[in-house]
Structure 1
Amino acid sequence: MKKIAIIMGGYSSEYKISLTSGNVVYQNLDKTKFKGYRIHIFKEKWVYVDDNDAEFPIDKNDFSVTVNNEKITFDCVFNAIHGTPGEDGLMQAYFELLGIPQNSCDYYQAALTFNKRDLLSVLKPYGIKSATSYYLNLGDEIKQDEILEKVGLPCFVKPNKSGSSFGISKVKTKDELLPAIANAYKEDNEIIIESFLDGTEVSVGVINYKGETVVLPITEIVSENDFFDYEAKYLGKSQEITPARISEDIAEKIRAVAKKAYTILKMSGFSRSEFIIVNGEPFMLEMNTIPGLTTESLIPQQARAAGISLEDLFTNSIELALQK
């Protein structure tokens, strides 16, 4: 039976969501094939947490743990850390150096996709559309008129490297711009300010399933709030409709772009990309490589719509990692 380390937690504002995702993975592992170990990764400690919530420190030299005088090493790592250090390439590089298989994409793809600016810049020459954007780094002079002349109002101010909509603001007036920038800087020292795309928001997962690149059913996002923010994602303030209520022609365009991006980037593991459909054309917002795996999350919803159970989804992911 393969021993699977399920890493969860992380160093960002997303750690609580990650713990929920990790526990869903733990609960839905195929117990006939795998023995799961919940590994909490925090700045102050890396620990294995058993079913009685007892904690055992991880030896970072070889990513092992000693329990009752028995040293345990792992056959594979299931990465459920949203944000740093699980989604930005740090953990992927660490496990590659140790020679331990892990189920997410490789470290370069993780670092690239975690940086919204770099991701969209790499995909743009391939004809993948995105919003008009303006970049700021902490310490840059903030030229409000120049920003608004380029992106217009309303616009979105986002941390360049974060997830779960932390630090994102929709700016409707000039007076709201500086507070929105300050809010984004709480999450990251780089900011991306984007023009407002007026259209239908959709989300689509792409996975490697049994050796084939598979595009999952598309989800339409209808937020009760101004946009698909934290409340909409996790506190029920949205409708998530799978399959999306869009024409087959538009659905095919989205599937093609999502698969194209996955292929161009030489992705592996899970990905979930967000698009806004404007005048029948998909504009990419971002790509997530450690998407939420809570019961409310989009990838599990889309997998169910495709007839793939969580147990099958996770088994497939681990088995592909073990084959690398």
Structure 2
Amino acid sequence: MKNIAILMGGYSSEFEISLKSGNVVYQNLDRSRYNPYRVHIFRDKWVYVDDSGAEFPIDRNDFSTQKDGHKITFDAVFNAIHGTPGEDGLLQSYFQLLEIPHNTCDAYQSALTFNKRDLLSVLKPYGIKCAESYYLNKGDHIDTEAIVSKVGLPCFVKPNKSGSSFGISKVKSADELPIAIEVAYKEDNEIIIERFLDGREVSVGVINYQGEVIVLPITEIISENDFFDYEAKYLGKSQEITPAQLPDAIAEKVRQTAKRAYEVLQMKGFSRSEFIIVNDEPFMLEMNTVPGLTAESLIPQQAQIAGISLEELFTNSIELSLKGINK
């Protein structure tokens, strides 16, 4: 029996969603193969939490814990932390140094994909389309005229390194820009302002399943709100259609683009890429490498349609890491 640490929590606004994702993994892990341990990672504490709610500190020197006088070490880590430090390369580097296998991509890919600006810049030369954008760092002069001239209106103001739509605003007039920028700065000190793309929004997972890179069924997202924001993602304010009812040729373009991005970046583990389809062409918005695993999340929906249960999905992820594919 392998001891598996399921990481959840984190340092960002996504910590509550991460706790839900981590508990879904905990509930669906195959007990005949694994001993699962819930490990909460917060700025002020790293602790193993048992079923009674009791907390046992994690020794960060070797990522172990003690319970009833016995030392517990882990054969592998299942990372369910959205945002920092689980999705930006920090924990990946830590586990690489400790030589503990983990189920997500390597540190470089984590850091790159977490940074929307850098991700899109790297993928552009490979023919992957993205929206026209304008960058700001905290403290920069805000030239609303220059921003509107480059990206037009409406536009989206986003934190460069954030998830779950925290800090994102759809801006319809130049007067709204300064307020939206301040909202984004609450999440990150870097901002990306993107041209509004008027098209169909889709999300698609790509995973290594049993040693082969496969594209999961595409989901079309129809939000009741202005865009696929937090309410739409987690509070039922959207319609998610899996598989998406797209013409075959367009669906194939989305699949090929998502898989190409995964392979170009030499990804491992999960990825979930978001696209807007404009004039039959997919434009990439972002890639998530620790996507949500809650009941409302898209990867579990897509896997189910593909005939992959949550237990199978999680077992596959752990087994690949134990074989060294994600080490």
- TM-score class, shorter-chain normalisation, is over 0.9
Q: In 1, Cα distance between the equivalents of 2:85 and 2:122?
A: 22
Q: In 1, Cα distance between the equivalents of 2:297 and 2:159?
A: 22
> Which residue pairs with 2:274 in the alignment?
274
Please report how far the alpha carbon of residue 305 of structure 1 lies from its aligned counterpart in structure 2 after TM superposition.
Answer: 0.4
DSSP 3-state at the match of 1:287:
strand
**Which residue identity is paired with 2:33?**
K
Q: In 2, Cα distance between the equivalents of 1:67 and 1:97?
A: 25
> Which residue pairs with 2:259 in the alignment?
259
> Which residue pairs with 2:196 in the alignment?
196
> Which residue pairs with 1:235 in the alignment?
235
Q: How does 1:12-161 map to 2 (within 5 A)?
A: 12-161=12-161
Deviations 1:58-89 (A, max 9, x none): 00000000000000000000000000000000
Deviations 1:274-303 (A, max 9, x none): 000000000000000000000110000000
TM-score (norm 1): 1.00
Q: In 1, Cα distance between the equivalents of 2:296 and 2:170?
A: 24
Q: In 1, Cα distance between the equivalents of 2:253 and 2:291?
A: 22
Deviations 1:24-75 (A, max 9, x none): 0000001100010000000000000000000000000000000000000000
DSSP 3-state at the match of 2:129:
coil
Q: In 1, Cα distance between the equivalents of 2:28 and 2:196?
A: 39
> Which residue pairs with 1:171 in the alignment?
171
Deviations 1:85-140 (A, max 9, x none): 00000000000000000000000000000000000000000000000000000011
Please report how far the alpha carbon of residue 2 of structure 1 lies from its aligned counterpart in structure 2 after TM superposition.
Answer: 0.4
> Which residue pairs with 1:215 in the alignment?
215
Q: In 2, Cα distance between the equivalents of 1:225 and 1:175?
A: 21
Q: In 2, Cα distance between the equivalents of 1:77 and 1:261?
A: 25
Deviations 1:183-220 (A, max 9, x none): 00000000000000000000000000000000000000
Q: In 1, Cα distance between the equivalents of 2:72 and 2:166?
A: 36
DSSP 3-state at the match of 2:266:
coil
What is the aligned-residue RMSD (CA, Å)?
0.3
**Which residue identity is paired with 1:60?**
R
Which consecutive residues of structure 1, in runs of 5 or more, have no partner in the other structure? none
Q: In 2, Cα distance between the equivalents of 1:306 and 1:10?
A: 30
Please report how far the alpha carbon of residue 245 of structure 1 lies from its aligned counterpart in structure 2 after TM superposition.
Answer: 1.4
Q: In 2, Cα distance between the equivalents of 1:35 and 1:69?
A: 18
Q: In 1, Cα distance between the equivalents of 2:32 and 2:109?
A: 32
**Which residue identity is paired with 1:99?**
E
Please report how far the alpha carbon of residue 254 of structure 1 lies from its aligned counterpart in structure 2 after TM superposition.
Answer: 0.3
Deviations 1:253-287 (A, max 9, x none): 00000000000000000000000000000000000
In the TM superposition, structure 1's runs of 4+ consecutive aligned residues that sit over 2 Å from their partners are none
**Which residue identity is paired with 2:134?**
Y
Please report how far the alpha carbon of residue 228 of structure 1 lies from its aligned counterpart in structure 2 after TM superposition.
Answer: 0.1
Q: In 2, Cα distance between the equivalents of 1:295 and 1:60?
A: 31
Q: In 2, Cα distance between the equivalents of 1:296 and 1:185?
A: 28
**Which residue identity is paired with 2:117?**
R
Please report how far the alpha carbon of residue 175 of structure 1 lies from its aligned counterpart in structure 2 after TM superposition.
Answer: 1.0
Q: In 1, Cα distance between the equivalents of 2:295 and 2:185?
A: 30
**Which residue identity is paired with 1:283?**
F
**Which residue identity is paired with 1:65?**
T
**Which residue identity is paired with 1:260?**
R
Please report how far the alpha carbon of residue 168 of structure 1 lies from its aligned counterpart in structure 2 after TM superposition.
Answer: 0.1
Q: In 1, Cα distance between the equivalents of 2:50 and 2:107?
A: 28
**Which residue identity is paired with 1:292?**
G
Q: In 2, Cα distance between the equivalents of 1:53 and 1:16?
A: 17
Q: In 1, Cα distance between the equivalents of 2:295 and 2:211?
A: 25
**Which residue identity is paired with 1:34?**
Y
DSSP 3-state at the match of 1:163:
coil
